[in-house]
C-alpha cells in the first residue's frame, strides 16, 4: 500500500569544505530513512529556491550559508519505502558563513563529511548526480582558466 504522494519543489545545497570534502546528512524520516543526502527540503508557499536552500541547511545542520551559484535543476520520481514521491529539486553550491554543525534531531540521524572520491553507496534522490554535475562544472572552470 502506498501512502500519500510527496511532491513539489525542493532545494538542496552542496557545502564543500577544504580537502574536497562534502557535508552530507543521513535521513531519519520516510521515505529515505538511512539514506545519505545533501541538506535540503521542500519549499514553503511563496518561497524562492534560494531561500529554501538557505533555510533548510540552517534547520538541518545549524549552519548559516550563502549561495555561490546554482548547480542545476532536476526532476525525480519513484517509490521508496512504500512512499511515492515526485520532486523538482534545485541544487545550489553554498559556502558556510557561520555556525557550528549541529544536526536536526527530529529528521537527521547523522551529519558527516565525505571525501568527493569516497561518497557513500546509499544516497537518496538524485543527489549523487547533483554532486557529479558540480564536479563537472569545477573541472570545466579549471580547464577554461588554464
pLDDT for the residue 4: 52
Nearest to 90 by CA among 108, 77, 75, 79: 75
pLDDT, tens only, 95-126: 999 989 999 999 999 999 999 889 998 887 68
SS3 for 85? strand
List all residues 6 or more positions away from 33 whose beta carbon is below 8 Å from its beta carbon: 27, 81
Residue 2 pLDDT > 60: no
- Strand 6-17, strand 83-98: pairing: parallel
pLDDT for the residue 65: 97
Burial of 61 per CB tally in 10 Å (0-12, 13-18, 19+): buried
Number of domains in the chain: 1
d(CA 92, CA 82) in angstroms, rounded, equals 29
Asked whether residue 1 is assigned to any structural domain, the reply reads no
SS3 for 12? strand
pLDDT, tens only, 28-48: 987 788 999 999 998 999 999
CATH code of the domain in which 122 resides: 3.90.79.10
Question: What's the pTM value of the predicted model, to 2 decimals?
Answer: 0.89
pLDDT for the residue 35: 92
Asked whether residue 88 is assigned to any structural domain, the reply reads yes
Cell numbers found for residue 79: 517509490
Asked whether residue 44 is assigned to any structural domain, the reply reads yes
Domain, as residue range, for 94:
6-145
Catalytic residue ranges: 110
Amino acid at each position: 500500500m502506498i501512502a500519500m504522494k510527496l511532491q513539489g519543489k525542493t532545494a538542496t545545497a552542496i557545502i564543500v569544505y577544504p580537502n574536497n570534502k562534502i557535508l552530507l546528512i543521513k535521513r531519519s524520516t520516510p521515505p529515505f530513512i538511512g539514506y545519505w543526502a545533501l541538506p535540503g527540503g521542500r519549499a514553503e508557499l511563496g518561497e524562492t529556491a534560494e531561500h529554501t536552500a538557505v533555510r533548510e541547511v540552517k534547520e538541518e545542520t545549524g549552519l548559516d550559508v550563502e549561495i555561490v551559484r546554482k548547480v542545476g535543476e532536476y526532476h525525480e520520481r519513484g517509490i521508496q519505502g512504500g512512499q511515492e514521491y515526485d520532486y523538482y529539486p534545485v541544487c545550489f553550491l553554498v559556502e558556510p558563513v557561520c555556525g557550528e554543525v549541529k544536526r536536526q534531531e527530529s529528521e537527521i540521524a547523522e551529519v558527516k563529511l565525505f571525501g568527493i572520491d569516497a561518497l557513500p553507496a546509499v544516497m537518496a534522490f538524485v543527489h549523487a548526480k547533483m554532486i557529479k554535475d558540480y564536479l563537472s562544472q569545477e573541472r570545466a572552470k579549471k580547464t577554461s582558466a588554464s
